[in-house]
Amino acid sequence: MTKNFAKDTFTSPAHIRNFSIIAHIDHGKSTLADRMLQLTGAVDERLMRAQYLDRMDIERERGITIKAQNVRLPWVPKTGAVAGEEIVLHMIDTPGHVDFTYEVSRALEACEGAVLLVDAAQGIEAQTLANLYLAMEKDLEIIPVLNKIDLPAADPDRFALEIAQIIGCEPEEVLRVSGKTGEGVSQLLDKLCEVVPPPVGDADAPPRALIFDSVYDTYRGVVTYVRVFDGKLTPRTKVTMMSTGANYELQEIGIISPEPEACEGLGVGEVGYLITGVKDVRQSKVGDTVTLANGGAEDPLAGYQEPSPMVFSGLYPIDGSDYPVLRDALDKLQLNDAALAYEPETSVALGFGFRCGFLGLLHMEITRDRLQREFGLDLISTAPNVVYRVIAEDGEEYNVTNPSVWPEGKNREVYEPIVKTTIIVPSEFVGTTMELCQSKRGDMQGMDYLSETRVELRYIMPLGEIIFDFFDSLKSRTRGYASLQYEEAGEQISDLVKVDILLQGEAVDAFSAIVHRDHAQHYGNKMTVKLKELIPRQQYEVPIQAAIGSKIISRENIRAIRKDVLSKCYGGDISRKRKLLEKQKEGKKRMKSIGRVDVPQEAFVAALSADTSADKGDKKK
């Protein structure tokens, strides 16, 4: 009988394999993970459900993976050099959407191998390439796999050739599996045990463990997920977080198999969780190194590069008294989502709130949804925008994350962030895709045919043009076949202006936006028409204007509510009627000079909820 390493601790590194599943959205990562859980017996058959590792309701509703999940699996390979020996597999299921690339990069740091999963009916997509390059940068062992070979539209021979050309292997080396039926999954597990190198580390050195994720538990405080690189960690020992210098006692150490289970400790190469009873969410930083408080390691592990937010939006509670709740909620959410950044801000129209930085529109939408679901908050979010660098006429430099801090007067130069964009489309949609990119001020960098029917287009584009409706437009023009991936590429000088929306001559900061001069007229017209429909009629006429500086570029009027002052006039001289109308007009004029426009909360919500969700798809099959 083989030893049950899956539930055992301090497993020999020679019997451990750490790997990640990486792929484009909708290529079946979570479904394949389900089959692995079943085949290895990690989940009881009666407890099994689809997308088992997608724990959040929002993940299950949208059919997308948002958080990387780790799980420990036992497997006895039937073939290869380690056939017949029980191997412990640590699998990390990662998200596929471009907004969650940071989750993928953190997961890869804890692995020695990666399963590159490609849909046998769709082939390599833009995000597949981005994740592949991430894995190659970290020198991981790549195992190419074609999934969904059971689909009628599957063409595994064609796409195996495509994969082989990109990663430099033979088409026969590309494994073929079906996450739905389970075909080929056991051969994949055998291959993982054979080719993924075991973890390397010094078992006798002071312990060093990398924090790659953490969550907040209401009852137990911060739960920290770690990968041990050197030494071993045991319960009831005093540990220190090397970047913050905070010391704690380890109350519990455990593994995820796939539910949390306490164990006697973790050794070299093992992945598990630590509970220290910490309630302060700032003390457990992703990328930090855990070591002993006494006689610990001197040098921390490399950790992670801090992600830089690419899209900013203001989040405000509809009820002002919820501001402290929102602050605590953001603290707890940041623990679980290291890519979220925020700082307090105030708005004349919306009160106290936070300026939040996100990696993309889907990230923004998911964060807002989680705040509303998990913490019961009702929120308004302002229109998303990016960070601009403005050099004023006097030479002073400003970083503008919010239209309200745009410097007044004439500006010498305005820099906007740009991104390298990779778009993969079927060849018949190349023309319409190029036309769309040019309309968004894209600068073409190159074009390659991946195969006879699929083309890779590369553009440099302003990030501000991508964050609104670019993805939706691309999908609709290519009948859903295009895939998009982008990464930061610096900044460029652009002719950008701030468009103010004025109600009765007063600027409403919540509706202001920074746009390219060529698009200013369109934005002004759109907002004035929208607000005319949303703001109720007042006792006097209200002009809604869009302006660049002192120049009005668009205007709509909300007509006044008029009482019929002539109802009592029947017959008689016209001068009497004129006198009554003039008297009413004077009253309206006096009211207008002292009155304020009443903008209901619903109008803010409706006007600011720009329907710009980046990708509501990502349904797994």
Binding-site positions for GTP read 26-31, 147-150
Continuous H helices in 382-513: 430-439, 463-466, 470-477
The two tokens of residue 144 are 């190419």
CA distances, 550 to each of 153, 385, 398 (Å): 59, 23, 21
Which residues lie below 8 Å from residue 413, measured CB to CB, with a gap of 6+? Answer: 390, 391, 493
Across the beta sheet with 379-381, what order do the strands follow? Answer: 341-347, 351-358, 311-317, 379-381
The CB-based long-range contact list for 549-552 (8 Å cut-off, 24+ gap) reads 549/497
Amino acid letter, residue 246: A
Strand partners, 253: 274
For 617, half-sphere exposure in the C-beta direction (CA atoms, 13 angstrom radius) is: 17
The two tokens of residue 145 are 């796999």
> Which of the 8 DSSP states describes residue 350?
T
Burial state string for 143-152 with b = 16 or more CB within 10 A and e = fewer than 16: bbbbbbbebe
Burial state string for 356-367 with b = 16 or more CB within 10 A and e = fewer than 16: bbbbbbbbbbbb
For 336, half-sphere exposure in the C-beta direction (CA atoms, 13 angstrom radius) is: 21
Give, for 53, the enclosing helix (H) or strand (E): none
Amino acid letter, residue 24: H
Distance CA 30, CA 56 (A): 13
Which residues lie below 8 Å from residue 448, measured CB to CB, with a gap of 6+? Answer: 455, 456
Annotated binding site: 26-31, 147-150
Residue whose C-alpha is closest to residue 39's, from 257, 144, 185: 185
Does residue 514 contact residue 388 with C-beta atoms inside 8 Å?
yes
Distance CA 155, CA 147 (A): 11
- DSSP code per residue over 582-610: HHHHHHHHHHHHH------HHHHHHHH--
